[in-house]
Structure 1
Amino acid sequence: MKKSLAPLALGGFGIGMTEFVMMGILPDIATDLAITIPQAGYLIAAYAMGVVVGAPTLVALMARQAPKTVLIWLMMLFTLTNALSALAPNFHVLLVGRFLAGLPHGAFFGVGAVVASRLADKGKVAAAVASMFTGLTLANVVGVPFGTWLGHNASWRLVFLVVAAIGIATVLLLKRWVPHIDASPSPGFRHDLKIFKRPGLWLAMLITSIGTGGFFASFSYIAPLLTDMAHFQPGTIPLIMTLVGVGMTVGVILGGKLADKVAPIKSVVILLAIMAVLLVLNGLLAHSKPAILFLAFATGANALALGPSIQMLLMDHSRDAEMLGSSLGQSGFNIGNALGAFLGGIPLTLGYSYASPQWVGAGLALAGVAFALLMLGKHRTFGAVGVLAPR
C-alpha cells in the first residue's frame, strides 16, 4: 500500500470499528444506562440514519474545498462525535451522538475514494480504492473483537474514546502523508444536485441498495443460524465473526483487482450472481458446521468484493460531481442494511426457520443482478464506455 493511502485505510478502520462494535457492546450500554435491548438497538438505527443523511449532504456542502481539506474536517467531526458518545450522560444524548457520528461516515468513504483514484498508479484505480476499504474490513477482524472485549471487561465508554483516538491519528496522518489535490471544478451545490436527474445514477443506487441487501438479510440473522441450526456454542460466535471479517479483508483486495481487469458493471453482475449462489448454499447447508464455516468466510469475502466496483460505478455516473456520487455508496449500503434486515426478518415472524432469511437474501441479490443487467444493456445500446471498460 502506498504511504499516501494509509491514512484513508486508518480512517476506514476507525469508522468500521465504531459502526460494528455496537452489536457487541449493546448489552453493556443497555445495562449501564438502564434501558432495554430494543431501546439500545435504536442507537444502531440512529448511526445508520446519520450515514444516509450525511453522505450526500456534507459532500455537497464542501464540494468546492480541496479533497484533503474535506477529509480532515470530516475526521475531526468523527473524532468529536465519538468523544461525545463516550461522555454521554444518558440515552438521549448518546442517541444524538450516534446520529452525529454517522454523518461523516459515507462522506469520508466517498471523498476518500476520489482521492485514492487520483493517487493511484495507472491501471490500479480500483485497487487503490480497495485499500481504503481494507481498513473497514480489518476493523471487523481486530477492532470489533477488541472493542467488544473492552466493553465487557472495562467500560463501553472507553471503546468510543479509543475510536476518537484513532480519529486524531487519522487527522495527523492526513496532514502529513496525503498530498494536496485540487478540488474538481464545480459551479456549486445546485449544479452538483443535477446528477440526481441521471437515470443511470438511480439505477446504480438500486443495484447497491437492493443487491447488497441480500448480504445484510443473511448477516443480520447469522448468530441464531449458527447456534440453532449449525449448533455452534454461543462462545464460538465471536471467532466465527472474525472469520467473516478475514473473508471481508481478502474479498475487498480481490474485488479491487477484479474491478481493474473487468468493467465495473460486469464485475457487479458476476459478484451479485455469486452472492445469490452462496446464500442459497447457506440455506441448504445450514446444519453442516464445516460448510457453514467455509460459507461464512466466502460470503463475507464476496460482499466486500463488491465495494470497489460499486464505488467506480457511482463515480462513473456522477461525472462533474464525483465526490457527491461516490459518497452515495455508503448511503446505499446502509439502506441495504435496513432493507435486508427488515425483509429477512419477515419469514421469522411467520414461524419459518433461521435459514429462511438466506432465501430472502438470495432473492434480493438476484434482483440486484437484474438491475445490473438492465444497466449493462442500456450502456451497450447507447454506446456508453465509462462503466463498460476497466479503469
Structure 2
Amino acid sequence: MSNIASVASGLTTGAKLAILAMAVGSFGIGTGEFAIMGLLPNLAGELGISAPEAGHVISAYALGVVVGAPLVAILGAKLGRRPLLLAMMLLFALGNFGSAVAPNYASLIVLRFISGLPHGAYFGIAALVAASMVDVGYRARAVGRVMLGLTISTLVGLPVATWLGQGMGWRPTFAGVGVVGVLAFVMIARFVPPIVILAGASPLKELSALKRPQVWLTLGIAAIGCGGMFSVFTYVVPLLTDVAGVPIGWVPLVLALFGVGMTLGNIVGAAMADKALMRTIGGMLAFNVLVLAAIPIMAQSVVGASLSVLCVGFTVAIGTALQTRLMDVAADGQTLAATLNHAAFNLANALGALFGGMAISAGYGWGSTGVVGAVMAIGGLALFGISVALDRRETRWAPLAVAGE
C-alpha cells in the first residue's frame, strides 16, 4: 500500500506515514465490513438461520455506524483527533475479537453493532486529518488515499477472508480483522501527530452543521442513492452461484473484481472530484442507475455477472466526492458532518440489505436486488437535483444579500 500516501509533491515523509497508518485502519474496517457478505451462507448454516436473517448481522453493524458516528463526534468535540482515532481503532479491534467467539445469533448481532460504533467516526476524522495535510486542490485525493485502504480490503482482504471462511468457518475471519485493528492502532500511535484542537470547538458548534439543508441533502444522497451497491453485494454469493452458475471455488476470484472496481473507482473518482465535484456526484448516480438496472440480465451468465460485480464496485467513486462536498457545506461542524457521511453510507448498507432481502423473500429472485438498487439510485438523483437547485438559488440571491448589508 505504498502508493496510498503519495498525494502531492512536497508532502512530508511524516505526513505520508500518517496517511498510510490511517489507510491500514481503513483496510481493517473494510475487511470487517465486507467479508461477512461473502460468508453469509456459512454463517447462516452454522447458526441455523436463513440468508435474509443472516443479512441482519450486516444491518446490525451498519446501524452501529449510524449511532456511533454522531455520538463520537459530539462527545469528542473537545478531544484531539489522534486520541479519537486510537480509541476508535481499539474499540473496533475488541468488537471483532468478540464477534469471533460469539456463542449465538443474538450475541453476534450485539457484537456486530458494537464493532460498527467506531466505523463512521474513524473514517470521518481520518479524512479531516488527511485533508489538513495537503493544499485545497488535493483534498479529495488525500481523502481518497485514506479510503484506498477500504477499497484494497475488497481486492485483497475480502477474497482472502472468503477463502479462509469457506475452509475454516467465519470466526477466524473476525479474529483476523481484530489483528489488523491492533496493527493499525500501533501505526497510528507511532505516525499520526497530535492535531491542535480548534479554538472554540464544542458539541454545540458541531451540531450547527445539522442546521444546514445542504448537509442533510448530501447525507440523503449517500443514504438513499448509494444503497444499491449494498443491496446487490449483500446477496452476491447466491446471485453468482445460483443465477450465473459460478462454481463455488471461483467465487473469491469474482469477488476480487469487486475490489478492483472499488480501487479504480476510488482513484478515478477522487481525481474527478478535485476537478468537478458536483458533476462527479451527478454522473456517478446516473452510472449507478444503469449498472444496477442491468443486473437481472447481466447475471444470467458468468461473464455478465463478473462484469456487473466490477461495475458495482466502481460505483464507490462517489464516496470521496460526497465526503469533500460535506467539507464545503458543513462550516463549523466539519467533524460531525464528516463522520455522518459514513453513518449515511452504512444506513445505505442497512437499507440496501433490508430492501434487497425483502425482494428476495417476496419471491422476486436474487437478481431483483439490482432493480431495488436502481430505484434507490434514482431517489439519490432526485435529492441531488434539489441540492443543485438550492445551490443556484443561493448563488442568485447572494449579491442582493450583500447589497442589503
| Fold-level similarity (TM above 0.5) | yes
Q: 2:308 maps to what in 1?
A: 295
Q: 1:381 maps to what in 2?
A: 393
Per-residue Cα deviation, 1:110-149 (whole angstroms, up to 9, x for no partner): 1111111111245211011011111111111211222233
Written as runs of structure 1 = structure 2, the 5 A alignment for 1:1-391 is 1=5, 2-29=16-43, 34-37=47-50, 40-154=54-168, 156-263=170-277, 265-301=278-314, 303-383=315-395
Work out the CA distance in 2 between the residues paired with 1:266 and 1:110. 23
Retained in 2: the 8 A contact 1:185–1:320? no
* Matched letter for residue 333 of structure 1: F
Q: 1:388 maps to what in 2?
A: none
> Helix, strand or coil: the match of 1:147?
helix
* Matched letter for residue 146 of structure 1: V
* Matched letter for residue 49 of structure 2: T
Retained in 2: the 8 A contact 1:186–1:320? no
Work out the CA distance in 2 between the residues paired with 1:69 and 1:125. 23
- CA distance 1:379–1:140, change in 2 (3 Å): same
Work out the CA distance in 1 between the residues paired with 2:224 and 2:280. 16
Retained in 1: the 8 A contact 2:28–2:150? yes
Retained in 1: the 8 A contact 2:127–2:146? yes
Q: Which runs of 5+ in 1 are unaligned?
A: 385-391
Work out the CA distance in 1 between the residues paired with 2:234 and 2:50. 16
RMSD value over aligned CA atoms?
Answer: 2.3
Work out the CA distance in 2 between the residues paired with 1:228 and 1:298. 20
Could you tell which deviates more after superposition, 127-136 or 137-146? 137-146
Tell me how far 1:200 sits from its aligned partner.
1.3
- CA distance 1:286–1:130, change in 2 (3 Å): same
* Matched letter for residue 345 of structure 2: F
Work out the CA distance in 2 between the residues paired with 1:355 and 1:287. 9
Per-residue Cα deviation, 1:6-31 (whole angstroms, up to 9, x for no partner): 01110001111112222344455556
Tell me how far 1:187 sits from its aligned partner.
4.5
Could you tell which deviates more after superposition, 145-154 or 309-318? 145-154
Work out the CA distance in 1 between the residues paired with 2:219 and 2:85. 23
* Matched letter for residue 378 of structure 2: L
Per-residue Cα deviation, 1:170-218 (whole angstroms, up to 9, x for no partner): 1221122222221233442233223222211111111111110132233
Tell me how far 1:334 sits from its aligned partner.
1.5
Q: 2:399 maps to what in 1?
A: none
Work out the CA distance in 1 between the residues paired with 2:95 and 2:215. 31
State the identity %: 39
Retained in 2: the 8 A contact 1:79–1:165? yes
Work out the CA distance in 1 between the residues paired with 2:175 and 2:372. 38
Work out the CA distance in 1 between the residues paired with 2:45 and 2:246. 26
Retained in 2: the 8 A contact 1:186–1:321? no
Work out the CA distance in 2 between the residues paired with 1:79 and 1:230. 36
Work out the CA distance in 1 between the residues paired with 2:39 and 2:90. 24
Work out the CA distance in 2 between the residues paired with 1:215 and 1:155. 25
Work out the CA distance in 2 between the residues paired with 1:358 and 1:173. 39
Per-residue Cα deviation, 1:244-294 (whole angstroms, up to 9, x for no partner): 11111111111111111112x321101101111222333343334433322
- CA distance 1:29–1:217, change in 2 (3 Å): closer
Work out the CA distance in 2 between the residues paired with 1:285 and 1:36. 29
> Helix, strand or coil: the match of 2:165?
helix
Retained in 1: the 8 A contact 2:65–2:120? yes
Work out the CA distance in 1 between the residues paired with 2:379 and 2:142. 29
Per-residue Cα deviation, 1:208-242 (whole angstroms, up to 9, x for no partner): 11110132233334334333443333332222111
Q: TM-score, normalised by structure 1?
A: 0.89
Work out the CA distance in 1 between the residues paired with 2:302 and 2:43. 32
Retained in 2: the 8 A contact 1:211–1:369? yes
> Helix, strand or coil: the match of 1:195?
helix
Work out the CA distance in 1 between the residues paired with 2:243 and 2:19. 42
- CA distance 1:177–1:220, change in 2 (3 Å): same
Q: Which runs of 5+ in 2 are unaligned?
A: 6-15, 397-405
Per-residue Cα deviation, 1:348-385 (whole angstroms, up to 9, x for no partner): 4444344333233222212211211221121122119x
Tell me how far 1:163 sits from its aligned partner.
1.8
Retained in 1: the 8 A contact 2:55–2:234? no
Retained in 1: the 8 A contact 2:59–2:349? no
